[in-house]
Amino acid sequence: MKLDAQTIAGLAAHLESCELEARDTPKITDEHPQMDWDDAYAIQDAIRRRKTDRGHRIIGLKAGLTSHAKMKQMGVETPVFGFLADNFAVPEGGECRVSELIHPKVEPEIAFVTRRALKGPGCHIGAVLAATDFVLPGIEVIDSRYRDFKFDLKSVVADNTSAARFVVGGRAIPASEVDLRTIGIVLEKNGEPVAFGAGAAVLGHPAAAIAMLANHLGARGEEIPAGTLILSGGITEAVAVAAGDSVTLRVQGMGSVGLRFVE
Ligand code: OOG
Ligand code: MG
């Protein structure tokens, strides 16, 4: 750790107020270039504690930057992990208020729900599939608090990996019923297909993203508990949205899920 406890608390307060007030900020590594990975996750953990202290529940986890399309779009090379709080959830077919966000983008993802806890090190795709209750389509709405979505990996980890809103729905199926590598997805905005892909875009197999998360947590003495919802990461580049847009994700064999963006 390179930052002291007071600086970490201050940066968490700053980033969370940017989130709550829909206000952007330059990336925090500009002022704190010495910040390391442990500092970045410590800032994210402090944001998480601010939320639970105010009575919010953490209802899931997420992996991000798990596809080459996303890594290329953001100019980075390693996956990152974050959390989902209860107020991030949008009901299936529901409304997402853009006035509460800075510059939202949508990502097509496969969501996992675990039946058993997953613990690293050594977690692999097989262990993830064995511990998965079901998989279902999910759309993540990301909203980096950093000006113009310009960040480096440590800054984005501290900012809870741009997590803002998400919706899951469609048809939930056992992971054994599909080949998650070859399932096709189509993301539609206002009825027009805007992005296409297949599950393998996420680290060769979306379950690999869940295994990486379990191994990341294992290194910190933590695990993925049973019954956790996890977003495995955008399959394609993220697509910008504005008030008036409606977005639908169709996943082969898993139906569709959607939401509408309102002022
Ligand atoms: C970071 C979050 C990326 C994903 O699915 O790749 C992410 C960002 O691009 O702002 O959630
Ligand atoms: Mg995502």
Residue 228 lies in a domain: yes
Provide the 10 A C-beta neighbour count for residue 94: 14
- Residue 214 Cα to ligand 1 middle (Å): 18
In a domain, 25, yes or no: no
Say if strands 58-64 and 80-85 run parallel, antiparallel, or are unpaired.
antiparallel
Name the residue of 27, 140, 150, 210 to mutate for ligand 1: max ligand atoms within 8 A of Cβ.
140
Taking 50 as the pLDDT cut, the residues of the chain under it are none
CATH classification at residue 181: 3.90.850.10
DSSP 3-state assignment of 36?
coil
Distance from the alpha carbon of residue 28 to the mean position of ligand 2, in angstroms? 21
Residue 68 CA to ligand 1 centre (angstroms) = 11
pLDDT, tens only, 228-258: 999 999 999 999 999 999 999 999 999 999 9
* Protein residue closest via CA to atom 7 of ligand 1: 64
Could you give the number of structural domains in the chain? Answer: 1
Longest Cα separation, the chain = 50
Q: Given this model, what pLDDT does residue 4 score? A: 98
Spatial separation of the C-alpha atoms in residues 65 and 80, rounded to whole Å = 6
The pLDDT, as a whole number, for residue 77 is 83
Is residue 138 domain-resident?
yes
User: Residues enclosing ligand 1, CB less than 6 A?
Assistant: 64-66, 70, 74, 107, 140, 142, 144, 156, 161-162, 233-234
Report CA(14)–ligand 2 centroid distance (Å): 22
* Predicted pLDDT of residue 262: 98
Residue 155 lies in a domain: yes
Establish whether the linkage from the previous residue to 121 is cis, with ω within 30° of 0.
yes
Structural domain including 79 reads 57-262
Q: What is the pLDDT of residue 12?
A: 98
Q: Which atom of ligand 1 is nearest to the CA of 234?
A: 5
Residue 122 included in any domain: yes
Tell how far the Cα of 122 is from the centroid of ligand 2, in angstroms: 24
Q: How far apart are CA 91 and CA 149, in angstroms?
A: 26
Q: Is residue 144 part of a domain?
A: yes
List the one residue out of 1, 34, 39, 2 whose CA is nearest residue 15. 39
Residue 10 lies in a domain: no
**Which ligand approaches the C-alpha of residue 140 most closely?**
2
User: Is residue 146 assigned to a domain?
Assistant: yes
